């Protein structure tokens, strides 16, 4: 079902606005000497802002519940999170993310393989694509379906996120589930790769990884 864009982008933004007075109507400024190496300033797309808002809301839920720190919830370093919050969401109170209590993440082998694949297919020179690569690789280690782990509204939003930031990777002509497709790509790149992701708990596990399922 196609929903009006105002409802797609508005709901997550309103939730974040309720927490920290977020407006989300400012340009994203990239400065040299930081996570964003290319000096430029451009308005963030509405969908990028929506996706980041969903991810940050999911992170705040885990921080509030004590199940994860900000870096454990996102896969980003403290410096990267601070940079994103400062430039993309300046109205948010950064202290809500308790960065002082967090330590920089150290991806395991499986996460690193996924990250390498995503970075290799990310939009060249786009720091936001690189950030999404880290977030997606990290959240893929969770037991939820990937779109749920990212806090997105549905699988179509995951498809759009991948198509936007990883266009070469997102040419999923096999029309199979994204998790299975991505892991298959990793397997081809590495020669052999066994699915170890803990998504057996996901209700759609058979649809994603079952033999011959598309």
| Rounded mean pLDDT, 2-29 | 44
Its sign, for the CA torsion 189, 194, 200, 203, is positive
First-to-last CA distance in the chain? Answer: 21
Phi, psi of 18 (to 5 degrees): -65, -25
Q: Whole-model pTM?
A: 0.73
187 C-beta neighbours (distance < 10 Å), count: 14
Going by pLDDT thresholds of 50, 70 and 90, the confidence category of residue 212 is very low
pLDDT tens for 86-115 read: 988 888 889 999 999 999 999 999 899 999
Closest CA to 113 of 171, 180, 189, 167: 189
Could you report the per-residue pLDDT of 23-47, keeping only the tens digit for each? Answer: 443 333 333 334 443 334 455 799 9
Structural domain boundaries in the chain: 1-106, 107-214
d(CA 51, CA 48): 5
Residue 119 confidence (pLDDT): 94
Average of per-residue pLDDT values in the chain: 75
pLDDT at 155: 87
DSSP annotation of 122: S
The torsion region of residue 129 among left (phi > 0), alpha (psi -120 to 50) and beta comes to alpha
Predicted pLDDT of residue 143: 80
Q: What percent of the chain has pLDDT over 90?
A: 45
- For residues 127 and 38, the answer to whether their CB atoms sit within 8 Å is yes
């Amino acid at each position: 079902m196609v929903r009006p864009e105002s409802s797609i982008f508005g709901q997550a933004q309103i939730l974040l606005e309720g927490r920290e007075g977020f407006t989300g109507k400012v340009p994203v400024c990239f400065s040299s000497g930081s996570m964003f190496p290319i000096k430029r300033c451009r308005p963030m797309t509405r969908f990028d802002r929506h996706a980041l808002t969903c991810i940050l809301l999911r992170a705040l839920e885990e921080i509030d519940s004590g199940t994860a720190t900000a870096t454990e919830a996102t896969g980003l370093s403290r410096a990267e999170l601070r940079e994103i919050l400062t430039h993309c969401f300046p109205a948010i109170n950064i202290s809500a993310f308790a960065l002082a209590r967090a330590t920089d993440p150290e991806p395991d082998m499986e996460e690193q393989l996924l990250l390498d694949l995503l970075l290799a297919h990310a939009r060249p020179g786009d720091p936001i694509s690189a950030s999404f690569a880290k977030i997606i690789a990290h959240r893929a280690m969770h037991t939820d379906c990937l779109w749920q782990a990212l806090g997105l509204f549905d699988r179509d939003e995951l498809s759009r996120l991948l198509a936007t930031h990883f266009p070469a990777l997102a040419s999923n002509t096999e029309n199979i589930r994204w998790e299975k497709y991505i892991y298959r790509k990793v397997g081809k790149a590495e020669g052999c790769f066994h699915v170890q992701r803990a998504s057996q708990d996901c209700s759609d596990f058979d649809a994603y990884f079952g033999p011959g399922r598309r």
